[in-house]
Amino acid sequence: MVRVVIRNGWVPPHGAGATVLVEGRRISRVAPPGEAITPMPGDWDVDADTRLVVPGLVDVHTDLAFGALVRLAGLPGRPPPTVADLRAGFRDPMAARATPAEVEPLTRAGALAALRAGVTCAFDLVPGSPGRGPALLEACARAVESCGLRAALAFAARAGDGERVGPSDFADAAAFARAAESHPSVHGMLGLTGLAEVPDAALAEAARHAPEIGLHATVAEDESDLAQVYARWSRRPVEVLAARGLLGPRSLVAHGGTTTHTEAMVLADTGSTLAVAPRAAMFWAAPFPPVVPFAALGVRVAFGTDGLFPDVAGEAVAAAMMHRHSERSARAAAGLVGRVAWPAAARLASELFGDTLGVLESGALADVVVLDWRPPVPIPDVPAGDLAVLWAGAPAAWVIVDGEVRLREGRLLGGDEVRIAVEAREAASRLLAPR
C-alpha cells in the first residue's frame, strides 16, 4: 500500500510541524509536531514547508462545464439585464446545443480549476436537452476522473422548443447513479431545474428515486422562477418539492433567492440542504435568502460557487461581508460560516459518499490539500470555516483525493494542462458561435 506522508505542515489545531499520514484511501494518523513518522520505501514524501494543510473543500453547487462561460456573459457592459434574461437568452440555449463533445472538455477544465482552488468534492448540476442525460453524465464522469476530482453528478433536463422533460430523464439519471454506487469518487444524483415546466409524471418518477439517490435542484433564483411555479400550483417552490416527496437528507436545494420563512421550516423539517452562492447572487444582482434566520430555524445551509468562481472559501468571505454590510455590524452572521455552512457541506458529502469527508482525522477519507499559504499571523482556535476567511484566495499546492496525489506543486499529474485549456476553449467557441 502506497503511503503519502505530508510533513512539516501547519495543521490546525496541532500547529506548525505536524504530519498527516495517508495510507490507501484513508488518513491513518495526524501526528503532532515533534512526533516522527518513520519513512518507508515507496512513500510519497510531501514537504509542506510550513504551509497550511486543510481538508479538501466541498462545493455543494457548481456548474463545472458552463460556469466560466456564464461569467464571460456577465462581463461589465454586456450582461443580460436580469437572471431570467440570462436563463432564456444564454444558459438554456447553450445547454440545448451542448453535446458530450463540448461538455467533456469544458467539465475537465472546470474540474482542474476546482482542484487548484482546493476543492476536492463538487456537486455538479449538468444541464442539457431531454434524452441526453446518459451521454452527458458519462462525458462528465470521464472528465472528472481524468483530473481526479470527487464529484456528485446530477443531470437536469431543461425543455426547449418542442421538447418536454419526461419520466425517462429521471429514470436515466437514477440508472447512472446506481451504476456508479461502487465507484470510489464519482456518484450520481437526480437533477432538477425549471420546476414549473416539469410534468407531474416526471416529478412522480423523480420521487421514486430521490430518497435513496438524492436530488440536486435549483429553485427560485429570482421572482420570475417564483411566479411561474406559483402560477402552475398556487404554491411556492419548496412547498411543491415537499408535497411530491422530493425533499430529505440527501436533497440539495440551490439558490432559493425568494425562499420564505415557511419554506425554510420545510427545509429544516425534511433535513434538506440549502445551497447558497453569495458571489453569484451579487454578480447577477439576484435575490439572496436570509440565511442567518434560516440557520436559526435549523436549516442546513452550505456554500456553492455556481461555477462562476471555483474557490469555496471566497464564498465564505462574501457571505460574511454581505451580512456585515447589510446590518452595518461587524458581528453580523457570527457563527454562520464556521459553525453552520462549512460543516453542512462536509456532512452532505459524507452522507452521499457513505464515508467521512471534510476533516483531518484518523479513519476519514483522504481528501487533503496543502495550500500555497504560510500563515503570516497567529492561527486562532476557531472553526475551520472561520479560518478559511484568512486564507481565502490561496491556491492549492498539493491536492490528494481519495488517497491519490492529483496536484503536485500546483501542477496536474497525468494531464496536459495546455491541451485541457485549448480543448475547452475550442468547445466554448463552438457553443458561443452564432446560430
Q: Are residues 241 and 323 in the same domain?
A: yes
Q: Are residues 66 and 141 in the same domain?
A: yes
- Angstrom CA distances, 144 to 186, 276, 419, stand at 8, 23, 15
Q: Are residues 45 and 73 in the same domain?
A: no
Q: Are residues 166 and 288 in the same domain?
A: yes
- 222 backbone φψ class: left, alpha, beta (φ>0; ψ -120 to 50): beta
426 domain-assigned: no
pLDDT of 14 reads 92
CA angle 278, 396, 398 (to 5 degrees): 145
CB atoms within 10 A of CB 391: 19
> pLDDT for 266-325, tens place per residue?
999 999 999 999 999 999 999 999 999 999 999 999 999 999 999 999 999 999 999 999
Q: Are residues 259 and 407 in the same domain?
A: no
The 3 state secondary structure assigned to 199-249 is: CHHHHHHHHHHHHHHCEEEEECCCHHHHHHHHHHHCCCHHHHHHHCCCCCC
37 domain-assigned: yes
Output b/e per residue, 363-385; b: 16+ Cβ within 10 A: ebbbbbbbbbbebeeebeebebb
285 domain-assigned: yes
Over residues 136-155, the mean pLDDT reads: 98
Number of domains in the chain: 2
Q: Are residues 395 and 317 in the same domain?
A: no
What one-letter code names the amino acid at 260? T
Q: Are residues 121 and 234 in the same domain?
A: yes
Lowest mean pLDDT of 149-163, 254-268, 293-307, name the range.
149-163
Output b/e per residue, 67-102; b: 16+ Cβ within 10 A: bbbbeebeeeeebbebbbebbeebbbebbbbbbbeb
pLDDT of 237 reads 96
13 domain-assigned: yes
Q: Using the structure block, give the residue that is written with the C-alpha cell 452532505.
A: 348
Q: Mind giving me the DSSP string for 318-347?
A: HHHHHHHHHHT-TTTTTTIIIIIIHHHHHH
Q: Are residues 265 and 371 in the same domain?
A: no
Q: Are residues 282 and 213 in the same domain?
A: yes
Beta-strand ranges (E) seen in 48-160 are 53-55, 57-62, 119-128, 150-157
- The domain that contains 274 carries what CATH number? 3.20.20.140
Per-chain mean pLDDT for the chain: 94
Band of pLDDT at residue 158, cut at 50, 70 and 90 = confident
290 domain-assigned: yes
Q: Are residues 396 and 265 in the same domain?
A: no
Q: Mind giving me the DSSP string for 25-74?
A: TEEEEEEPTT------TT-EEEE-TT-BEEEPEEEEEE-TTTHHHHHHHT
Strand 44-47 with 396-401, pairing: unpaired
Contact 59, 275 (CB under 8 A): no
Last residue of a domain, one of 318, 352, 386: 352
207 domain-assigned: yes
User: Which residue range(s) make up the domain with 161?
Assistant: 57-352
Last residue of a domain, one of 308, 337, 352: 352
Q: DSSP 3-state assignment of 129?
A: coil
- Angstrom CA distances, 112 to 45, 143, 248, 284, 305, stand at 23, 10, 31, 25, 15
What one-letter code names the amino acid at 300? R
pLDDT of 322 reads 93
> pLDDT for 405-428, tens place per residue?
999 999 999 999 999 999 999 999
- The domain that contains 401 carries what CATH number? 2.30.40.10
Q: Are residues 342 and 366 in the same domain?
A: no
96 domain-assigned: yes
435 domain-assigned: no
Q: Are residues 253 and 380 in the same domain?
A: no
Q: Examine the pLDDT at 81 and tell me if it is beyond 90.
A: no
| Cis check: omega of the bond before 13, within 30 degrees of 0 | yes
